[in-house]
Amino acid sequence: MEDDEEEPPLAIQIDEEIKHSTQRPPNDDVSVGVTVITGYLGSGKSTLVNHILNSQHGKRIAVILNEFGEEIGVERAMINEGDGNGGAIVEEWVELANGCVCCTVKHSLVQALEQLVQRKERLDHILLETTGLANPAPLASILWLDDQLESSVKLDSIITVVDAKNLRFQLSERRNSSSFPEAFFQIAFADIVILNKVDLVSPEGSGGVLEELEKEIHNINSLASIIRSVQCQVDLPKILNCRAYEATHAAHLEALLEESRSLSTKDLHDSGVRTLCICEPRQVDLDKVRLWLEEILWDKKYGMDVYRCKGVLSVQNSDQLHTLQAVREIYEIVPARKWKGVENQMNKIVFIGHNLNEDVLNDSFRTCTTS
């Protein structure tokens, strides 16, 4: 089919072999986790997807391949089907021998996800491989807080695949200009960074080289976990069900509570893309925090460009630990659980972005306190 031929009204055509699958119960409020896979061209995104599609993992995973534009539209892509034949162009949902399904879609991503969770038997997970996407923030916003999707799907994590051999060059590209290469944005938004092709790094002193690369990654995003890999051979439990955006996830909360100023990084050369952590022991007024955050994220009052934000809040007149999450302009503050007696009830907020100013953030946040 040529690209200019007219597509059906919905983005997805259902393969005849799986039309018999059980409908998802209409009252089932358990959402399916979605992992976004992004990365610089040639980093190994498709290798990771093919690894998952060929593995005997016992999970029913749907893989959607997209080319996102400004309208979050989708263009045709290619992937091996995982049946050993290789090279097939998947243009509709195809069920594979290991229980996975994969497709490419055009038009509406939201419609694609809705139809997927409604028409298929219960899925364990959904993967979205993005091709040519410099900045995953708009996609994250759709998956995280889009009302149209309701509780059907939830954003589980953003995975960025980077090429160990070429990462330094990719980070250096356009370093002296006002625009940043895609590699910076993809690392800044990542919950997990797969440092791929580590076997291509020179064996002589390779350990030190890889450590330096990990340091550069953490200089941009101190919150991201890093997994070294060869040909993206990664254990699935390390990248699925991370629940990075789930406010009540115990591991997520513990990580936030343990974070301190040691996460703050110096500017990476002249890029200014960094991680910064602020702490405040006094309780805060929640309404003031919302206004403060909106001034930073929406109004750009202090001239800072925040990509990601995570935090825990100690709120006035509440025994509940509140969590804060933000992706670009979209944010959420929710009560997670009661503070434990042994915990230090302190506000800790981690920012990842450009032109971050620690003094300004600390001083302005103090205006949100209650004493």
| pLDDT at 79 exceeding the cut of 70 | no
pLDDT of the residue at 318: 95
pLDDT of the residue at 148: 65
Q: Tokens 């021998």 map to which residue? A: 97
DSSP assignment of 68-124 equals --TT----------SSSS------S-EE-TTS-EEEE--S-HHHHHHHHHHHSSPPS
Distances (CA, A) of 139 to 103, 149, 172, 302, 351: 18, 13, 26, 26, 20
| pLDDT at 76 exceeding the cut of 90 | no
Of 139-143, 170-174, 280-284, which gets the smallest average pLDDT? Answer: 170-174
Rounded Cα–Cα distance for residues 214 and 212 (Å): 5
The closest alpha carbon to 254, from 194, 343, 330, 173, belongs to 343
Distances (CA, A) of 247 to 19, 155, 211, 241, 320: 36, 12, 31, 14, 12
Rounded Cα–Cα distance for residues 304 and 301 (Å): 8
| pLDDT at 341 exceeding the cut of 80 | yes
Fold type of domain 16-238: Rossmann fold (3.40.50)
Q: pLDDT tens digits, residue range 318-331? A: 999 999 999 988 89
Highest mean pLDDT among 85-89, 267-271, 321-325, 342-346: 321-325
Of 65-69, 95-99, 179-183, 224-228, which gets the smallest average pLDDT? Answer: 65-69
Q: Tokens 């979209």 map to which residue? A: 330
pLDDT of the residue at 147: 64
Rounded Cα–Cα distance for residues 327 and 189 (Å): 8
pLDDT of the residue at 225: 93
3-state secondary structure of 329: coil
Residue-range domain boundaries for the chain: 16-238, 250-366
Q: Which residue has the higher pLDDT, 178 or 108?
A: 108
Rounded Cα–Cα distance for residues 17 and 133 (Å): 32
Q: pLDDT tens digits, residue range 203-245? A: 665 668 899 999 999 989 988 999 999 999 999 889 999 998 8
What is the Cα Rg of the chain in Å?
21
Cite the beta strand spans of the chain per DSSP E: 32-39, 61-66, 94-95, 101-104, 125-130, 153-163, 192-196, 225-228, 273-280, 305-314, 320-327, 330-338, 347-354
Confirm or reject CATH 3.30.1220.10 for domain 250-366, answering yes or no.
yes
Q: What angle do CA 238, 46, 117 make, to 5 degrees?
A: 70
Asked if residues 283 and 315 have their Cβ atoms less than 8 Å apart, the reply is: yes
Query: In the predicted model, what is the mean pLDDT of residues 27-56?
Result: 82
pLDDT of the residue at 207: 65
pLDDT of the residue at 65: 76
pLDDT of the residue at 130: 79
Of 43-57, 137-151, 168-182, 230-244, which gets the smallest average pLDDT? Answer: 168-182
| pLDDT at 91 exceeding the cut of 90 | no
pTM: 0.79
Helices vs. strands in the chain: H and E counts, helices first: 9, 13
